[in-house]
Amino acid sequence: MSTYYPIFLNIHGRKCVVVGGGEVAERKARALAGQGASVTVISARVCHGLAQLAQQGTIQISARDYQSGDLKDALIAIAATDDPTVNVEVAREGRERGVLTNVVDDPEHSDFIVPSLLRRGDISIAVSTGGKSPALARRIRTELEQSFASEYASLALLISEVRQELKRDSIHVDGNAWQKSLDLEPLLDMLKKGEFEQAKEKLLSNLLRK
């Protein structure tokens, strides 16, 4: 049974290759490009969405079938064709070149799997079932979305600003004090009302009392 090490990877400016031209390939290419990757899609035929992304300059398309050597210098490769033989060939080249490779719906031939992701600003929560049930992972993410309001994004920004102010003033606050000072309910309530500065003052007051 495969086990996975969870990681958030900085792909900004890095070459990522998507092999396939359908809607699944489009979702993968769009997600990679959205995080700043340099995305190349390889497929003789591409769906309308991929063609639009290329027209916008978001991705590049090599309008031909995959061939060995296409993964050179890539950080990530995703095989998303409807041909299992091609997908396995992509996985094989990925392993030979040390390229992290995902074969869609085939954990056995993948170096990594893509979790279902919930984002609130700089807060990201990844949900995975180890490749056993992507549908269940999406269901759990949907339920989590109901618990994490948009104010959490503002809270992350607020905490970042407070940390910078404390560092500037050479004030050290340990992890335990942070945990005790994060009185979430009133802070989130203030942020919901647009009272950012008041929430910051409250958090600073809590921290400096510890």
pLDDT at 167: 93
- 21 or 150, which is more confident? 21
Taking domain 115-148, whether its CATH number is 3.30.160 is answered by: yes
Q: Residue 30 has which token pair?
A: 């769009």
CATH topology for the 15-114 domain: Rossmann fold (3.40.50)
Where along the chain do its domains lie? 15-114, 115-148, 151-209
Strand partners for 78: 18, 102
Nearest-angstrom CA–CA distance, 37 and 58: 9
pTM of structure: 0.82
What is the C-alpha separation between 205 and 181, in angstroms, rounded?
A: 9
Reference 51, options 61, 39, 38, 36; nearest CA is: 61
Q: Report residue 1's pLDDT band, with 50, 70 and 90 as the boundaries.
A: low
Query: Does residue 201 have a pLDDT over 70?
Result: yes
CA distance 67 to 206: 60
Query: How far is it, in rounded angstroms, from Cα 55 to Cα 58?
Result: 8
- For residue range 23-80, what is the model confidence (pLDDT) as tens digits? 999 999 999 999 999 999 999 999 999 999 999 999 999 999 999 999 999 999 999 9
Query: Fold identical between 15-114 and 115-148?
Result: no
Res 210: pLDDT: 59
What tokens appear for 136 in the block? 């269940």
Q: Which residue in 26, 60, 20 sits closest to 44, CA to CA?
A: 20
Does pLDDT of 126 surpass 80? yes
Q: pLDDT tens digits for 131-164?
A: 888 899 999 999 998 888 889 999 999 999 999 9
Dist. CA 203–CA 184, nearest whole Å: 10
